[in-house]
Amino acid sequence: MKVRLTIAVIGLFTVFFSGLSGLQAQGLQTERMVPESATQVKLSYAPLVADSAPAVVNIYTRKVVRNRSAMFDDSLFKRFFGDQFSFGMPKERVRGSLGSGVIVRPDGIIVTNNHVIEGADEVTVVLADRREFDAEIILADPRTDLAILQIDSGEEPLPVLRLADSDNVLVGDIVLAIGNPFGIGQTVTGGIVSATARTQQGISDFGFFIQTDAAVNPGNSGGALIGIDGELLGINTAIYSRTGASNGIGFAVPANMVKSVLRAALNEGQLVRPWLGVRGQSVTNDLAAGLGLDRAGGVLVDEVYADGPAAEAGIGTGDVIMAVGGKEIIDEPGLNFRIATMQEGDEIPLAVLSDGFIQERIVALELPPEDPPRNLSKLDGRHPFQGVTVGNMSPRFNEELQINSFLKGVIVLEVERRSPAARYQFLVPGDVVMAINGVRVDQVQELNDVIDENAEQFVYQIRRRGRVQECTIVPNRSFRCSTLR
């Protein structure tokens, strides 16, 4: 266990972080200057745009949608004939969308938003010089709303944008947004960084955004947010708007998150994020008062995974994680972002409030364990659960499913159409099977063992949407459920 204690009482917490912020700002102050003359004010961004814009591409997607005649979808028609009425050939139509992307490697690796290419049957990339290429989706990550594409442009290297260290972005920095708004063609807009570390926007699971007032509109998604040195600060992702047009509030995924997804894409497309092994909650003003803090901030640890990285470093329930790698943690999304941008094996210092003192704990990050193995299985036999696909939950599998990584048991993944479970909703995807006929179920094999095809009735407990239900099935006769808690 690697632990170093810092002699710092809670009252010094404010001084600690204000000093840290002051040093960061002082160190960067000489690189950022206010114009001092009319000549400097008249300087143009044209050379910067000329160097950067060729690395920003337009992306067009096509998806074939099959629709039946509107008559078959009429509610009155369905009432008499049901959903299975299927004569007539379904009609096909093509649904298109557009967005932007950024070339980050000369061999044709492109970063864009996941929502730009999600569900697409065809993806076309158009370069700034009007050349067109079919693109292959290497990795799509809905949790960060990022996707990595590749095109084959031959032996000629493509122009690229270099990824910046987005932790160096400061409020007030001048930025340019380059993209394809409304499909009118490549467009450049300018502004400043309005805020950093925006975490409560609900845009993605790892929300931690650079906010800018540079005009960003539909079609800009996946485009570049660059600094005045021409480096890529982030990928434009979303806007805050009531009309769908720019209101001067745009959000970009920071370059440091782009780096982590890109790294995974180039590593055989396997995206498994490092894991701290804690579950917690953001420290609100009410919690801060109870913890003796003078302001909200940090993450209160509610649960620690046994033998996980945090447990090995001596972090326990009730501790408050205040900083990661010298970066202040404001809330839980901020902690998740910091960990997600790192790699397995990284040893990082955490500032932790424990027993009234700020202590430094060195944590060696690991990948979440898959224990037990997921054992995906389709239940078979003459029983009400026939046609249900289940699997064992584990931290690794739960991360993929985007659910609480600490949950254990057997989760329902899919219910076969026309199966008894589908018709009567005995089980639905997301249910966690806890027990059947009085026997606790922890793994798929135990579930298979406990299902008796000759049973006269099945009494089982499930956790559905956070509530525990007990259900009773009498085959071919009755089905009822009641909520226990």
Read off the pLDDT of each residue in 209-214 and give the average, rounded to a whole number: 92
H/E stretch holding 99: strand 91-105
3-class SS at 53? Answer: helix
Q: Which range has highest mean pLDDT (20-29, 356-365, 378-387)?
A: 356-365
The residue written with tokens 């180039």 in the block is: 266
How many helices (H) and strands (E) are present in the chain, helices listed first? 12, 28
Res 30: pLDDT = 52
More confident residue, 462 or 241: 462
**CA–CA distance, 165 with 176 (Å, rounded to integer):** 16
Residue 167's Cβ-count burial label (10 Å; 0-12, 13-18, 19+) is: middle
More confident residue, 415 or 402: 415
**CA–CA distance, 328 with 283 (Å, rounded to integer):** 13
Residues 6+ apart with CB under 8 A from 30: none
Res 484: pLDDT = 83
Res 239: pLDDT = 77
Strands (E), 151-269: 174-179, 187-198, 209-212, 224-227, 232-239, 250-254
Res 35: pLDDT = 73
**CA–CA distance, 93 with 461 (Å, rounded to integer):** 44
More confident residue, 13 or 371: 371
More confident residue, 177 or 78: 177
CA of residue 358 relative to chain centroid, distance: 30
Res 238: pLDDT = 83
Q: Quick one: pLDDT band at residue 5, thresholds 50, 70, 90?
A: very low
* CA neighbor of 379 nearest in space, from 350, 358, 410: 410
**CA–CA distance, 347 with 366 (Å, rounded to integer):** 10
The string over 227-264, giving b where at least 16 C-beta atoms fall within 10 Å of a residue's C-beta and e elsewhere, is beebbbbbbbbbbeeeeeebeebbbbbbbbbbbbbbeb
H/E stretch holding 370: none
**CA–CA distance, 484 with 372 (Å, rounded to integer):** 28
Report whether 140 contacts 128 (CB < 8 A): no
Q: What is the mean pLDDT of the chain?
A: 85
What are the tokens at 244?
Answer: 């769908």
Res 255: pLDDT = 96
Report whether 190 contacts 45 (CB < 8 A): yes
H/E stretch holding 444: helix 444-450
The residue written with tokens 């809905």 in the block is: 142
253 φψ region: left (φ > 0), alpha (ψ -120 to 50), beta (else): beta
Q: Does the structure show a pLDDT above 90 at 131?
A: yes
Q: Quick one: pLDDT band at residue 424, thresholds 50, 70, 90?
A: confident
Q: Does the structure show a pLDDT above 50 at 11?
A: no
* CA neighbor of 269 nearest in space, from 368, 156, 138, 102: 138
Q: pLDDT tens digit string along 426-443?
A: 899 999 999 999 999 999
Res 44: pLDDT = 86
Res 425: pLDDT = 86
Instruction: Establish whether the linkage from the previous residue to 106 is cis, with ω within 30° of 0.
Output: no
What are the tokens at 339?
Answer: 């960990």
377-378 and 388-392: which strand pairing? Answer: antiparallel
Res 92: pLDDT = 59
What amino acid is encoded at 375 in this protein?
A: N
Q: What sign for the dihedral angle of Cα 80, 82, 87, 91?
A: positive
Q: pLDDT tens digit string along 95-113?
A: 567 899 999 999 999 999 9
Confidence (pTM): 0.79
What amino acid is encoded at 180 in this protein?
A: N
Res 381: pLDDT = 86
**CA–CA distance, 205 with 401 (Å, rounded to integer):** 12
The string over 179-190, giving b where at least 16 C-beta atoms fall within 10 Å of a residue's C-beta and e elsewhere, is bbbeeeebbbbe
What are the tokens at 92?
Answer: 């096909």
* CA neighbor of 273 nearest in space, from 353, 349, 197, 206: 206
Active site residues: 115, 145, 221
Length of the chain: 485
Res 445: pLDDT = 94
Q: Does the structure show a pLDDT above 60 at 24?
A: no
- How does DSSP classify residue 156? S
122-126 and 56-67: which strand pairing? Answer: antiparallel
Residue 50 sits at the vertex; the CA angle it makes with 49 and 56, to the nearest 5 degrees, is 70
Q: pLDDT tens digit string along 314-331?
A: 999 999 999 999 999 999
Report whether 259 contacts 163 (CB < 8 A): yes
- Across-strand partners of 3? 361
Q: pLDDT tens digit string along 111-120?
A: 999 999 998 9
Q: pLDDT tens digit string along 250-301?
A: 999 999 999 999 999 988 767 889 999 999 999 999 999 889 898 999 999 9
First to last CA, the chain: 39
Q: Quick one: pLDDT band at residue 356, thresholds 50, 70, 90?
A: confident
The residue written with tokens 């009309």 in the block is: 243
3-class SS at 352? Answer: strand
- How does DSSP classify residue 20? H
Phi then psi dihedrals of residue 451, to 5 deg:
-75, 115
State the helix-helix crossing angle for 255-266 and 332-340, rounded to 10 degrees. 40
Q: pLDDT tens digit string along 158-169?
A: 999 999 999 999
